[in-house]
Amino acid sequence: NDDQFKKVISHAKEYGYVFQSSEIYDGLSAVYDYAQNGAELKKNIRDYWWKAMVQMHDNIVGIDAAIFMHPTTWKASGHVDAFSDPLIDNKDSKKRYRADVLVEDYCLKIEAKIDKEVAKAAKRFGETFNKEEFLATNGRVLGYQEKIDTILKRLGKSLEAEDLADVKALIEELEIACPLSGSRNWTDVKQFNLMFGTKLGATAETAMDLYLRPETAQGIFVNFLNVQKTGRMKIPFGIAQTGKAFRNEIVARQFIFRMREFEQMEMQFFIKPGTQKKWFEHWKETRMKWHLSLGMGQDNYRFHDHEKLAHYADAATDIEFKFPFGFKELEGIHSRTDFDLKQHEEFSGKKLQYFDHEDNASYTPYVLETSIGLDRMFLAVFSNALVEEELDNNTTRTVLKLPAVLAPVKAAIFPLVKKDGLPEVAKQIVEDLKWDFNVFYDEKDAVGKRYRRQDANGTPFCITVDHDTLTDNTVTIRHRDTMEQKRVAISDLKDIIKKEVDV
């Protein structure tokens, strides 16, 4: 819900996770900076993905391709011709909308209207109220429901050229059913390319038009044969990569969910034609397991299989996550056939084929792709972790229950008081632990206050040095989620922390 989402955004700023870019100049829309804690969390998510995908698979290797690519790449990939969003302008308000997002907003509004009518009726009829029956017999409400259903049926994930006139008509119709913008004066729907252009070269005559890559995948496709040959890879094998991608999103909103500069973590898995169904199922299951391994709740995930497929795909599904604003795409898994490699063969004039020794034949491999947004994963982890807990003594505490493996700081070390040699012992513990973990020293304020700060910061452990430590070399270790405190030997600290934060 809205309130929870606002809390997430302000908490991310207050605790040094995410800042608006160029904030002193009033920011740049849909561009964000990761702050001292955010950069650590982001890195930990990236490492967690890399470890699972590259380190743990002996048939997957990682690369780091450049953001700039030869411009023909984007002709071959289809991004020059087809990578666009449908836009519509409101002539009265002069506001520009992404047509599909506008339709989505109407749907939400209509749904809210239905809910309101249903709630009203439920109140009126009391215990005898039956929602299904009410919807089935109430013409007006049903009208809305039918509208939503038709809209959703007609609009797949992307709009094709022939749909554009229909979309305009639809928006006009929706505006009557459920006014949102207070105007029916719309322009036609136009397609707008999402790639950022730039130039390479010093003089106007010799400069070459380039694009900032809108996805990392193409850097993998064009390197397919180089990696296969130099790595002596045998099909099936994968190439993974993480890196920045850029899209001139028109409706950039929902914080770091949709940004203009973002990071992707992608893996292209090269397979024998005909085996794509099996691998599609395999990667669906494998990727879902990866998500569930973080312990963020099974109910927060679902698959959304695509009925309407992009021209290059023969199967596609999204892993959706329950963000504060509802279930939305977090990761895409696509069976891309040989579309990409064939396109690059055609545009480059070079063969991108694999010689299969078992079959004694060459073929252009098929590709299974898994593609997840690092920033979206960050938002999933962060928003899911932020909770406000009622405590026994009628107070509340704010806790960021990040999975320990991802937490920016693994342990905070406190001297109980700032004297009697306690700070020196605490600092020595920091010195010993920092070889293995990111740790933090804090001696300011009462210890209870320091605990609260670390709870809100997501630190899984707090370690307190007190006067007993001086005689028996033990400390108190407090667990963020349970708030349980235990007395343990300093020499055991490393193992205790390791147990929780190691994958």
Q: Which one of 70-78, 304-312, 349-357, 372-380 is the stretch in contact with ligand ATP (CB under 6 A)?
A: 372-380
Q: Is 325 helix (H, G, I), strand (E, B) or coil?
A: coil
What is the distance of C-alpha 55 from the center of its chain? 22
Cα 229 to Cα 45, 85, 184, 384, 493, distances in angstroms: 30, 38, 59, 43, 47
Is 127 part of any known ligand binding site?
no
Residue in 400, 378, 384 with CA at minimum distance from that of residue 297: 384
**Which of 336, 450 has the CB closer to ligand ATP?**
336
Question: Which of 18, 99, 372, 463 is the binder for ligand ATP (CB under 6 A)?
Answer: 372
Site for ligand ATP in 459-478 (CB under 6 A): none
Which residues have CB under 8 Å from 304's CB, separation 6+?
A: 317, 318, 320, 327, 329
**Which of 47, 329 has the CB closer to ligand ATP?**
329
Q: Which one of 16-24, 267-275, 373-381, 394-402 is the stretch in contact with ligand ATP (CB under 6 A)?
A: 373-381
* 159 binds ligand ATP, rule: CB under 6 A: no
Question: Which of 193, 371, 464, 469 is the binder for ligand ATP (CB under 6 A)?
Answer: 371
CA atoms within 13 A on the CB side of 284: 17
Is 450 part of any known ligand binding site?
no
* 329 binds ligand ATP, rule: CB under 6 A: yes
* 340 binds ligand ATP, rule: CB under 6 A: no
**Which of 372, 404 has the CB closer to ligand ATP?**
372
Distance CA(384)–CA(374), nearest Å, equals 15
Render 290-302 in DSSP notation, one character per residue: HHHTT-S-GGGEE
* 42 binds ligand ATP, rule: CB under 6 A: no
**Which of 105, 249 has the CB closer to ligand ATP?**
249
Strand segments, DSSP code E, in 357-491 are 361-363, 366-373, 386-390, 396-400, 411-415, 439-441, 461-465, 474-479, 485-489
The answer to whether residues 483 and 401 touch, using CB atoms and an 8 Å cutoff, is no
Is 247 part of any known ligand binding site?
yes
| Helices within 97-251 (DSSP H only) | 99-125, 131-137, 139-154, 164-177, 217-221, 224-230
Cα 485 to Cα 145, 309, 480, 488, distances in angstroms: 53, 54, 10, 10
Q: Using CB positions, name the residue nearest to ligand ATP.
A: 373
Site size for ligand ATP (CB under 6 A): 16
Q: Which one of 108-116, 139-147, 294-302, 369-377 is the stretch in contact with ligand ATP (CB under 6 A)?
A: 369-377
Q: What's the min distance (Å) between Cβ of 327 and ligand ATP? A: 12
Crossing angle (nearest 10°) for helices 422-433 and 493-501: 50
* 373 binds ligand ATP, rule: CB under 6 A: yes
Write out the two tokens for 28. Answer: 């740049």
Q: What's the min distance (Å) between Cβ of 267 and ligand ATP? A: 12
Q: State the binding string over 228-257 for ligand ATP (x if CB under 6 A, else -).
A: -------------------x-x--------
Q: What's the min distance (Å) between Cβ of 216 and ligand ATP? A: 9
**Which of 338, 375 has the CB closer to ligand ATP?**
375
**Which of 322, 478 has the CB closer to ligand ATP?**
322
Q: Any idea what the Cα angle at residue 297 is, between residues 294 and 303, rounded to 5°?
A: 95
Strand segments, DSSP code E, in 175-218 are 190-193, 197-200, 208-211
Q: What's the min distance (Å) between Cβ of 255 and ligand ATP? A: 10
Distance CA(495)–CA(437), nearest Å, equals 11
**Which of 62, 423 has the CB closer to ligand ATP?**
62
Write out the two tokens for 355. Answer: 């010689």
The answer to whether residues 184 and 172 touch, using CB atoms and an 8 Å cutoff, is yes
From the CB of residue 81, how many other CB atoms can be counted at a distance below 10 Å? Answer: 11
Site for ligand ATP in 252-311 (CB under 6 A): 258-259, 262, 264
Binding footprint of ligand ATP on the chain (CB under 6 A): 215, 247, 249, 258-259, 262, 264, 329-332, 371-373, 375-376
Binding-site positions for ATP read 247-249, 257-262, 329-330, 373-376
Binding-site positions read 98, 215, 247-249, 257-266, 329-330, 369-376
Binding-site positions for substrate read 98, 215, 262-266, 369-373
